[in-house]
Structure 1
Amino acid sequence: MQHTFKKALIAVAVTSSFASLPQVSLAQEADDDMIEQIVVSGFRSSLIKAKDLKKDALGSQDSILAEDIADFPSLNLAESIQRIPGVTITREAGEGRQISLRGLNADFTQVQLNGMEALGTSSSAMDSRGTTNRSRSFDFNIFASELFNQIDVKKSYSAEMDEGGIGGTVKLYTAKPFDYDGMKAVVSAQAGDNSLTEDTSPRLAALVSNTWGDFGALFSLAYSKRDTAEQGYNTYRWRPRDAQGSDISALSAADQDAVNSGELRFSRGSRYSQFNSEQTRVGATVALQYRPSANLSFGLDALYGTLDSDRGEFHLQSRGSSSTALGCTGADYEGARYYCSSLTDIEFNANNEVIYSAWENTALHSESRDQSATTDISQMVFNADWTVTEALSVSGLLGYMKSEYESNSAKVYLESFADMTIDYREDRFYGTNSYVNGFDPTDIDEYRFHEIDLAEDKVDNSFAIAKLDSDYLLSDTSTLKFGVSIKDFEHSNNSEQIGNALRSEWQSGEISDVINPELVYVNNVHEKQSWLSTDVTGVLTTFNVDRNLSYSDQPDEVTEQTTALYITYEKDFLLENSEVRTSFGLRYFDTDIESSGLVNGTEYVTVERQYDDILPTFNLAWYATEKLVLRASAGKNVTRPTLGSLSVSGTVNTDPLFGSSGLNINAGNPGLQPFETLNMEVSAEYYFDEVGYASVTYFQKDIDNFIATTIVPVAYGDTGYPLDLIEGMVDEDGNPQTANTLYTFSQPQNLDDSDFSGWELAFQRDFDFLPAPFNNMGAIVNYTYAEGESLHNVLVDGESTEVYRPFYGLSENTYNATLYYETSHWGMRVSLAHRDDYLTQVETSSSDQDEAGFHGTTYWDFSAFYDVSEKIKLSFEGINLSDEREEQYSDSDDRLYNTTVSGRTFYLGVTYEF
């Protein structure tokens, strides 16, 4: 018996989809006299092809093909990928943004576009979600799924793959003209509706492809415009505070003592929130192919994508001492309002969290934000394949990719003073604010202008790569693969901000803080509360405030130059009734890093580092029977530190008498070594005759050089900063500082090893064994269990303490399930995606919290189609049917950080194939 990729083929015709596949192949016994023709179309066809790709792969792999991407309920590329076993996603404005593989967060997943590494940057409107992405993680919401016809998720590693993805590698492929048989032209249109917005959310996609003998050309375009909305309730975390000047005389003696102890935690911000966005996504691809002979081919792939978001953000929030309802605040000129709040009633729980409070004259602010955020990605890839002889084939790739992100933000704050209550007793993750004693949050007379905050961010990333790969057939059963690659990566980050603009002028009375009615309006979108919001652009124009800041000509920069070589030996062992495929490989890489940035905001410093390594890999696949495949793999891989961690920018306090911390440095660490891991994995896969398989996988990753922020003493000479920064300075004893002078260094460091392991189960099956009409049903189910902890260095009562926390982004239990019913003319699917709680942050020294993360979620989606004719198809999609709440928690005591809902989304569409 020989394994399926060496057998004769059954044609599979795929029709009725914008991203439908060309004719593809299935296995058949090589010695058969006749080839049985089986025509399968629709969703099943993509499952068949994906199953075959998985079975034929030497390592662990899952794939999604065009039919699945185009037709499955998904707003963008991330939501398509989440159906793969072991994949979870984070969301932004109700859409998928980043993916995690087998519990390791997005920083550990390498993404490739058309064969070359890529990095795409977008942002969140929410501070609690990290705002601008400054890591190596890829933001998948930049692209519409219609631009791609195949996604491969490589979970095991081989030496011919680029290093960098400890979690795995996601390979994205756009369509090529020779994917189709001759002329292909398809156009699709959809109109959508979200329960929290009023737009029609148009989505358009088109593809035109043709071949003329040896030459082929393809063009595709995807456009969507969508109003998004998230609304809910959030805090700035919870902080221990005493009275801070508030009048607490109305409280009982016991409650006054509790407040004065400073041990009660008060919620900060305590605000109703609303996040709106008009989001435009445009993508286009061009692919050219030329095959002058059977042994030589050339290809050129061009890709462009843009994500443009015009955002409005609105809050009604407490903003007294540390943004609690405590304290005294207000303007400082004669006749202005200035109050110390009164706390008249209070209730707190066993964790000293104030879950109910009643206030008089507490500071209340209306915050209105106008922000634009744009990401542009462009890529050009040239590739060539040459079969030099029957034994030797060579392929080459030249590519360049650039990602540019830029945002501009302006906030206007209105100040008021209110009698109100803050109540978390009914729903601890959705507070209720009540405004009493005649206070009306929509009354213009209750407010005055308070301040304006401005900010701009610019993040540029680029890759340039040259690769040469060769395959040499040593015998009928053995192959030698070898190659070389050179890659240049450049990252630039520039941020500017101005806070409290016009605040002193408004507070001193130099400029009137009385509000012009033409600059405000009643915001009644939030389901819980209406309040007065601001026309931000109108305010900036009225007060001649220029929101366009000047970027520094000395941004934070990181450049990496990597040269890599590999060699892999593949050997097939053809046994009497089975086949064993193996590969042994070695990859060597050398990386030079240069990190530049401002220190103390004045001196531009550049630090250089270098590291290299050898990565051995082993993969084995035993095709024990026609249906049973057993796999094993082991190998070493790396993931490079995040870009923020490598930044040299920071502050260096060279004066031992300044502040309370003495000589100290707070910065990134260009000297970080990459994460290193030894990956091990075993699996068993059973394949059904037609559509489907069942598999079980155990995986383990031993991670070395884990990175976390630490506070440690370091000799100044070991920091990489220039000695002239300490020239003429003395230490605590009055001695001249030298390279040996110890500094307290707060920065990312490589810490101890961490272990990570888990199980992955998957099942996919047509129910063709059932009687009609139930034989048209099928199911796809997968479940992943993962566990792992990492070491962190935190300050507890002023002492450095080592603690273990779960990996960032690790949900212990995740699962996806899809139930489908499909005939030759119509079909429908319902699916769910679940992930458990996961951690996003560990604090090193914060009185607010020791960690932060998200509660678990379960999202439900639905899709249906009907073929009106061979050329026309109607579709209907429902996304987030349960209007799932995204709950972000603060601290291991599980306090409210942020809660939002994004509404249910529905799309009705039509596809026409010419």
Structure 2
Amino acid sequence: MLKRNQLALSISAAVLSGGLMAPLAIAQSDEAIEEVSVTGIRGSFQDALSTKRNADAIVDAISAEDVGKFPDKNIAESLSRITGVAVSREFGEGERVSIRGAGPDYNRTTLNGQSVGTADWFILDNPSRSFNFTLLPSTLISSLEVTKSPQASQDEGSLGGTVNVRTHRPLDLDAGQAAIAVESIYSETSEEYDPSISGQYSWKNDSETFGVLVSAAKQDRTVQRSGFEVLSWSDEATPGVMVPGTMGTPTFFQERERETLFLSAQLRPIEELQLTLDVLDTSMDADNMNANWLVLTGENAVDHATNGQLSGNSVVASQISGDGSGVVNWINRVSSSESQSYTLTAEYVTDAFSLDVVAGNTSAKGGTYRETSWEYGWSGGDYEFDLNTPSLDSNPAPSDADAYTATDGWIWGGERPTTDEETYFQVDLELPIEAGAFTSIETGAKFRNAERTQQRIVYSWHAPETMTGDEDLADSYLGYIFANCPTLSSCGLNSGGIVSFDTPAGGNSTTALAQMRDVMEQIAFVGFNGVSADYARSLDLANNWAVEEDIFAVYAQANFEGDNYSGNFGLRYVSTEQASSGYEFSSDSWGFQTVDRDWLNPSYLAWVTEDNDYSEILPSFNIAYDLSDDMVVRTAVARVMARQNWNQISPFETFGALNAPDPQGQAGNPQLKPFLADQLDVSFEWYYGDVSAFSATTFIKKNHSYLAQETFTEARYDEQTDTWVDVDFSRPVNGDGGLVAGVELAVLHDFDNGFGVQANYTYTDTGSDSVVGISDTMANLMGYYENDTFGARMMYNYRSEWSKGFHWNGNPLSNDAFGQLDASFSYNVTDNAQITLEAVNLTNEQVVEYSEYEDRLMSLYENGRRFVVGARYNF
């Protein structure tokens, strides 16, 4: 290892966070190496380069410039600048990452090498194995490492790559080192200023045997997202012609409040032994509400197919006179998410061996804990739509409170909490050896026990006896509400007046009544006119489930090194046992069991478990060969695996609106086997200047299977119409596999005068347009300037269209190409004080989703621009 460690000392710069890094030559001789201290952006490049250049596997890295000073406010945004990594931005922030032909659900994210429990707050997010990066503030991060070629000693579970988030450790920092930052964030769509404050302090004793680091952050954000939605496409009523079923102009509001605390304590009681305790506690209050003015276009499908404007076989514009209908859908949700992790690591190092023992637990809970959705409607009116624009007009208008009546209305709601927990224990042993080129043998074992659960409860204000037997008032509390609040002009439901939304859609649907959350929640959950609110709570039996997973892994790995090469090869054996549990029930209670009163109760109900188990042997081989002092070739061969999504292997069931034509639904499959792939990676790196470099990487993956869909039809009960409706369900199955091939190109050029440019490009060919989360083209372009007092970066990130799987109603869903321009500036007031300015999404890029073809618009969202001004002080 001596040669590579000496080589690391000669490296002093790396490319921007695109993952390509370059060495800066340091004057050196046979007797001494001159140490050069590099700070700021170039200093972060140096740290990242050291990580990449010393790795035997193919690894890209991003490093913080200083304690609490990561390049982006959102970790996923930083990851998006690495070659081969793509990011989804559902609500204007990076949330999930796709890597090298594998979607977000088939890549692992770890914190200091271990899992972090995740439970999403959004009610439409399905429990998955992807990690939501909005839960981790960037201020506590030391570096990010993306490993694209696995080693036997590394946890399995990724098809594309593993993201390891590293935090600072107290014994690695100077005693008494601290930083504090305050920021104000302005969001263009909500027109709100939100505060953010973070701080970090690290201490250790004079003998450097004990240290404690504490990092804390509190961040608020007001989210407003306006847009246009088509909720379904169908040709059931018009064979051969696809007609939009329901469309509207939604506006989403949310107040996010995130608090994070991280503690790291280290103890070195003797020279050979070091103990580290890491504790993470992060939570986010995510209450939200959504207002959508909907036109039920599917009810006029035949007229649209006959008289509407067609693009291909899709109706993209039409109008109806006198026979239209629509509703306002106001949804209010109490939502949150929180995660904790506790990890204790013991490292014992001697000349004879190194032993690491890790034990820990991580847990999360989150979701929607209370939801209410109000619908008032109209019928017999007019409307017209144009998806080319898009625009939506209706008569009566959304501002006409008297026209929206309870006659065409409904109130529903519920709960959807989820949990995620994992307990882990691992032992790793490394034995130094001298056997030719072999330098050490590593072996170890790891046990993980994980459980993911989902609960779904629905509220029924129309249930019997919700008026406590007072039939003189109404037959149910829903009947009482509608009798006393017959239109939106009643009971204060229109007390907020009329508002206009800044939305990418046109038509009078963008000028509507303001949503009155307080009024609706008072009526729904407290009562009014002296009558107490009441509703039945029933389990939605098909959507209550639990999946438990026991994983045992053991590995052996040999490390080798010669004059101009180094690497490793090994085997990892993994055994997985899964138990998917859910309700088995008769259909005589419409799939519900009322838990707070005697109403709906199936004649047969049982909690049943379906087992599934499999084991795999995963070989891996990595080698790095130095062609010269400034050229390196890396080759990696491996078999990788990723387990299927929790949601997909659960016995869940969900479906869209039963009053729409051709209702679609989805169901789980507990017998799914994991994804397996054989991969080959070859990379070339040429460090041709002090801070200038070029790299090219090619990768090929042979996927043994892709996720396919099979369909079946079953009837489901529609509460609102008291009828049974056939639903076409799709469920995942292991389908045929295929090849994924790609090329990554990256270049960094520094002009030696403070200016520099970095660019990278990734092309991925999956052989199919339906592989979830993958764009065939991704690119980054970044320019930077830095001197002793001022720094600036302009960053453009682009990805071509990608599949998102299936919409909740069963339609295929894709996201159109997306490109985002960001900028950041910093000014050093003193050596310790800095002022920063950031701008996110300067071009106000819109998120566009469609079904199969671009003329079948599903949604158009505008998240707007964000501007951040802040001040930071180091102690």
Name the TM-score, length of structure 2 as normaliser.
0.85
Deviation at 1:72, TM superposition (A): 6.2
1:26-61 Cα offsets, whole Å, 9 max, x none, are 886885333323221111111111122111110100
Question: 2:698 & 2:651 partners in 1: Cα distance?
Answer: 39
Is 1:190 the equivalent of 2:167?
Answer: no
Deviation at 1:346, TM superposition (A): 4.2
Work out which of the residue numbers 772, 777, 800 in structure 2 matches 1:808: 772
When residues 452 and 508 of structure 1 are mapped into structure 2, their CA distance, relative to the original with a 3 A threshold, is closer
Is 1:761 the equivalent of 2:738?
Answer: no
Question: What secondary structure does 2:192 align onto?
Answer: coil
Work out which of the residue numbers 631, 635, 646 in structure 2 matches 1:632: 635
When residues 786 and 218 of structure 1 are mapped into structure 2, their CA distance, relative to the original with a 3 A threshold, is same
Partner of 2:610: 607
Question: 2:652 & 2:866 partners in 1: Cα distance?
Answer: 43
When residues 859 and 11 of structure 1 are mapped into structure 2, their CA distance, relative to the original with a 3 A threshold, is closer
- Do 1:77 and 1:144's aligned partners in 2 also have CA atoms closer than 8 Å? yes
1:278-310 Cα offsets, whole Å, 9 max, x none, are 111111100001123332211111011112212
Question: What secondary structure does 2:77 align onto?
Answer: helix
Question: 1:86 & 1:852 partners in 2: Cα distance?
Answer: 22
- Do 2:231 and 2:247's aligned partners in 1 also have CA atoms closer than 8 Å? yes
Deviation at 1:196, TM superposition (A): 1.1
Question: 1:617 & 1:359 partners in 2: Cα distance?
Answer: 66
Structure 1: where are the runs of 5+ without partners?
15-24, 126-130, 243-260, 328-340, 652-664, 714-743, 769-774, 790-803
Larger CA deviation: 132-141 vs 542-551: 542-551
Question: 1:845 & 1:526 partners in 2: Cα distance?
Answer: 27
Work out which of the residue numbers 554, 565, 576 in structure 1 matches 2:554: 565
Deviation at 1:896, TM superposition (A): 0.7
Partner of 2:582: 597
Deviation at 1:114, TM superposition (A): 1.8
Partner of 1:616: 619
- Do 1:8 and 1:27's aligned partners in 2 also have CA atoms closer than 8 Å? no
Deviation at 1:423, TM superposition (A): 3.3
Work out which of the residue numbers 537, 556, 559 in structure 1 matches 2:545: 556
Partner of 1:288: 265
Larger CA deviation: 477-486 vs 854-863: 477-486
When residues 505 and 829 of structure 1 are mapped into structure 2, their CA distance, relative to the original with a 3 A threshold, is closer
- Do 2:544 and 2:652's aligned partners in 1 also have CA atoms closer than 8 Å? no
Is 1:315 the equivalent of 2:292?
Answer: yes
1:7-86 paired onto structure 2 within 5 Å = 7=7, 9=9, 32-67=30-65, 74-86=72-84
1:797-831 Cα offsets, whole Å, 9 max, x none, are xxxxxxx6431111000011110000011110000
Partner of 1:409: 371
Question: 1:608 & 1:5 partners in 2: Cα distance?
Answer: 49
Partner of 1:725: none
Question: What secondary structure does 1:481 align onto?
Answer: strand
Partner of 1:739: none
Question: 2:8 & 2:678 partners in 1: Cα distance?
Answer: 38
Partner of 1:171: 164
- Do 2:24 and 2:691's aligned partners in 1 also have CA atoms closer than 8 Å? no
Partner of 1:377: 339
Partner of 2:762: 784
CA RMSD of aligned residues (A): 3.2
Partner of 1:735: none
- Corresponding letter in the other structure for 1:395: D
Percent identical among aligned pairs is: 25
Question: What secondary structure does 1:624 align onto?
Answer: strand
- Do 2:413 and 2:460's aligned partners in 1 also have CA atoms closer than 8 Å? yes
Question: 1:90 & 1:35 partners in 2: Cα distance?
Answer: 45
Question: 1:708 & 1:74 partners in 2: Cα distance?
Answer: 37
1:741-800 Cα offsets, whole Å, 9 max, x none, are xxx9964322222211100111223221xxxxxx101122111100114xxxxxxxxxxx
Name the TM-score, length of structure 1 as normaliser.
0.81
Partner of 1:681: 681
1:528-581 Cα offsets, whole Å, 9 max, x none, are 52112442442343354458956689941111111111110111122xxxx111
- Do 1:304 and 1:376's aligned partners in 2 also have CA atoms closer than 8 Å? yes
- Corresponding letter in the other structure for 1:403: A
1:60-83 Cα offsets, whole Å, 9 max, x none, are 000111228965664422112111
Question: 2:452 & 2:561 partners in 1: Cα distance?
Answer: 43
Question: 2:349 & 2:312 partners in 1: Cα distance?
Answer: 73
1:187-216 Cα offsets, whole Å, 9 max, x none, are 000002111113211111100111102111
Work out which of the residue numbers 801, 820, 835 in structure 2 matches 1:837: 801
Question: 1:354 & 1:181 partners in 2: Cα distance?
Answer: 64
Question: 2:698 & 2:512 partners in 1: Cα distance?
Answer: 53
- Do 2:309 and 2:316's aligned partners in 1 also have CA atoms closer than 8 Å? yes
Deviation at 1:708, TM superposition (A): 2.1
When residues 870 and 145 of structure 1 are mapped into structure 2, their CA distance, relative to the original with a 3 A threshold, is same
Deviation at 1:608, TM superposition (A): 1.8
Partner of 1:474: 433
Work out which of the residue numbers 725, 730, 735 in structure 2 matches 1:751: 735
Is 1:271 the equivalent of 2:233?
Answer: no
- Corresponding letter in the other structure for 1:562: I
When residues 418 and 57 of structure 1 are mapped into structure 2, their CA distance, relative to the original with a 3 A threshold, is farther
Question: 2:834 & 2:808 partners in 1: Cα distance?
Answer: 55
Larger CA deviation: 65-74 vs 205-214: 65-74
Partner of 1:532: 513
Deviation at 1:490, TM superposition (A): 1.0
Is 1:648 the equivalent of 2:635?
Answer: no
Structure 2: where are the runs of 5+ without partners?
15-22, 464-475, 528-532, 586-590, 592-604, 655-664, 714-727
Question: 1:9 & 1:680 partners in 2: Cα distance?
Answer: 30
When residues 8 and 648 of structure 1 are mapped into structure 2, their CA distance, relative to the original with a 3 A threshold, is closer
Larger CA deviation: 233-242 vs 55-64: 233-242
Partner of 1:93: 91
Work out which of the residue numbers 223, 229, 237 in structure 1 matches 2:218: 223
- Do 1:119 and 1:136's aligned partners in 2 also have CA atoms closer than 8 Å? no
Larger CA deviation: 902-911 vs 640-649: 640-649
Larger CA deviation: 409-418 vs 858-867: 409-418
Question: 2:66 & 2:832 partners in 1: Cα distance?
Answer: 19
1:392-446 Cα offsets, whole Å, 9 max, x none, are 111111111111112122111121347544232xx62x4212346xx44323222
- Do 2:836 and 2:871's aligned partners in 1 also have CA atoms closer than 8 Å? yes
When residues 157 and 69 of structure 1 are mapped into structure 2, their CA distance, relative to the original with a 3 A threshold, is farther
Question: 1:526 & 1:516 partners in 2: Cα distance?
Answer: 23
| Alignment: residue pair count | 791
Partner of 2:120: 122
When residues 753 and 79 of structure 1 are mapped into structure 2, their CA distance, relative to the original with a 3 A threshold, is same
Question: 2:582 & 2:92 partners in 1: Cα distance?
Answer: 35
Question: 2:785 & 2:709 partners in 1: Cα distance?
Answer: 51
- Do 2:651 and 2:668's aligned partners in 1 also have CA atoms closer than 8 Å? yes
Question: What secondary structure does 1:52 align onto?
Answer: helix
Deviation at 1:326, TM superposition (A): 6.2
When residues 750 and 686 of structure 1 are mapped into structure 2, their CA distance, relative to the original with a 3 A threshold, is same
Is 1:492 the equivalent of 2:453?
Answer: yes
- Corresponding letter in the other structure for 2:778: T
- Corresponding letter in the other structure for 1:522: G
- Do 1:885 and 1:900's aligned partners in 2 also have CA atoms closer than 8 Å? yes
Partner of 2:658: none
Question: 1:432 & 1:421 partners in 2: Cα distance?
Answer: 11
Question: 1:325 & 1:38 partners in 2: Cα distance?
Answer: 73
Deviation at 1:237, TM superposition (A): 2.7
Question: 1:556 & 1:74 partners in 2: Cα distance?
Answer: 37
When residues 467 and 688 of structure 1 are mapped into structure 2, their CA distance, relative to the original with a 3 A threshold, is farther
1:633-782 paired onto structure 2 within 5 Å = 633-649=636-652, 667-711=667-711, 747-768=731-752, 775-782=753-760
Question: 2:77 & 2:103 partners in 1: Cα distance?
Answer: 16
- Do 1:343 and 1:358's aligned partners in 2 also have CA atoms closer than 8 Å? no
When residues 614 and 233 of structure 1 are mapped into structure 2, their CA distance, relative to the original with a 3 A threshold, is same
- Corresponding letter in the other structure for 1:303: L
Deviation at 1:833, TM superposition (A): 0.7
Question: 2:420 & 2:838 partners in 1: Cα distance?
Answer: 35
